[in-house]
Amino acid sequence: MIHIPNLLTATLLSSALLAGPVFAQVETAPPNAPDQTPAFEGQTRAPTPAEATAVSTEVVADGLPHLWAMEFLPDGRMLVTAKAGAMHIVSEAGNAGPEITGVPEVDSRGQGGLLDVALAPDFETSGLIYFSFSEPRDGGNGTSVASAKLVQDPGNNTGALEDVKVIFQQTPTYNGDKHFGSRLVFGPEGELYVTVGERSDVEPRVQAQDIGSGLGKTFRIDVTGAALTDNPFVDTEGALPEIWSLGHRNMQSAALDGEGRLWTVEHGPKGGDELNRPEAGKNYGWPEVTYGVDYSGAPIGEGITEKAETEQPVYYWDPVIAPSGMAYYEGAEFPAWDNSFIIGGLVAQGLVVVHLDGDQVTSEERIPLQARVRDVKVGTDGAVYAVTENSGSSQIIRVSSGS
């Protein structure tokens, strides 16, 4: 077992903007957009907590294919998706079974592949799972969601998908290999939230502002893929009725909080990763309003960060953490993390923990894992499990208290 303390330095801020004791900012690197200022205090560069969290890490599974997502099965085993298009069941001892049969074809070029997986709320009786993937189609591809029954043999970690149904397709189809999203989150009433991307390129990304397009949106559907009758645009002519919120870039992180509300973190441009709490019918700005700049260093659009018709992020990062995977923490292993979101960092190469007071971020800390973190889950033991990726392979790392 490897012991890793929180390695942040304790350089004190000279600013007196923070009430009470003044702690170090978690981010010390210069922003990519130094002329941009937050819309309110605490929207970015939050201080570290008063006490750093010491953790211990243990590799639970090694030598896995390039994974994208993980979900715990009720018996403690792990169902994982591999980007190239395979599913596996991993035992509690870290042994991966053979490929689960019945997985549909995926387009794994670029950022595409087999993406998220979620157990149906009634999984223990129905055996149903839901998964998202970049679906090859005439003229290109797009993010789709499928349901299937997982038939498994607990004795040898084998399994098969039966009665596979594509229940939802992001449209329009686009011939690209970037910004597919995607996370799947079941809400408290059994509703299914689906996050997607806006396909990155300059021409299609403007459709994030178009309620007749499925690019750059959060969707809210039932288990058959149909729009919920109380969705915000069900009665709007020309709108996609499945849309819950719009103006998003590329959402690869999503989770419910303790009140059952959806939160997301989306990849920004060069700077501008955003933590949001998407609400019905609201517009989160992209690509007309954003923090950060283009990868070339040029402004995005008019270079504005505020507009009356769009929502401000709860929190943003510049430089980016490159978020992927997210979990809301409730557990005994880390009492100090209660009411916090734990976010996987691809560029941050570790866990990013944001502490909340109500709907505002009060502090942030980084738990380095020296690897790109693709997904995050909280186990029944209260420990945090991180799916990492390095050089085309993956590990599953258990993060527990180091105290």
Q: What is the value of pTM for the model shown?
A: 0.93
Terminal alpha carbon distance of the chain? 14
Residue 2 covered by a domain: no
Residue 52 covered by a domain: no
**pLDDT digits 0-9 by tens, 36-94:** 999 999 999 999 999 999 999 999 999 999 999 999 999 999 999 999 999 999 999 99
What pLDDT, on a 0 to 100 scale, did the predictor assign at position 2?
A: 37
| Residue of 88, 179, 248, 355 with catalytic role | 179
Q: Which residues contact 292 (CB under 8 A, 6 or more apart)?
A: 32, 33, 36, 268, 269, 270, 271, 272, 273, 300, 316, 318, 320
DSSP E strands in 277-322: the ranges are 315-317
HSE-up (13 A, CA, CB side) for residue 202: 5
**Would you say residue 17 has pLDDT above 80?**
no
Q: Considering the chain, what percentage of its residues have pLDDT values greater than 90?
A: 90
Q: Record the tokens describing residue 288, joined without a space.
A: 């007309």
Q: Record the tokens describing residue 345, joined without a space.
A: 């960092």
What pLDDT, on a 0 to 100 scale, did the predictor assign at position 23?
A: 59
**Would you say residue 9 has pLDDT above 80?**
no
Residue 78 covered by a domain: yes
Residue 170 covered by a domain: yes
Residue 49 covered by a domain: no
**C-alpha distance from residue 164 to each of 52, 104, 128, 365 (Å):** 46, 8, 10, 41
What pLDDT, on a 0 to 100 scale, did the predictor assign at position 8?
A: 31
What pLDDT, on a 0 to 100 scale, did the predictor assign at position 7?
A: 34
Give burial (CB, 10 Å; 0-12/13-18/19+) of 136: middle
Reduced to 3 states (helix: H, G, I; strand: E, B; else coil), residue 194 is strand
Mean pLDDT of 384-401: 95
What pLDDT, on a 0 to 100 scale, did the predictor assign at position 53?
A: 94
What pLDDT, on a 0 to 100 scale, did the predictor assign at position 18?
A: 32
Mean of all residue pLDDT scores within the chain: 93
> How many domains in the chain?
1
Residue 16 covered by a domain: no
What pLDDT, on a 0 to 100 scale, did the predictor assign at position 24?
A: 78
HSE-up (13 A, CA, CB side) for residue 369: 34
Return the CA Rg of the chain: 20
**Would you say residue 234 has pLDDT above 70?**
yes
Beta-bridge mates of residue 197: 250
Residue 77's CB is within 10 A of a number of other CB atoms, namely: 18
Mean pLDDT of 129-152: 98
Residue 83 covered by a domain: yes
Mean pLDDT of 296-325: 97
**Would you say residue 21 has pLDDT above 70?**
no
Residue 285 maps to which CATH number?
Answer: 2.120.10.30
What pLDDT, on a 0 to 100 scale, did the predictor assign at position 403?
A: 62
**Would you say residue 16 has pLDDT above 50?**
no
Q: Record the tokens describing residue 167, joined without a space.
A: 């229940």
Give burial (CB, 10 Å; 0-12/13-18/19+) of 51: exposed
Mean pLDDT of 147-164: 93
Helix H or strand E segment including 396? strand 393-401
Full domain range(s) for residue 187: 63-360+371-396
**pLDDT digits 0-9 by tens, 81-131:** 999 999 999 999 999 999 999 999 999 999 999 999 999 999 999 999 999
Residue 90 covered by a domain: yes
**pLDDT digits 0-9 by tens, 202-218:** 999 999 999 999 999 99
Beta-bridge mates of residue 315: 275
Annotated active-site residue 179? The verdict is yes
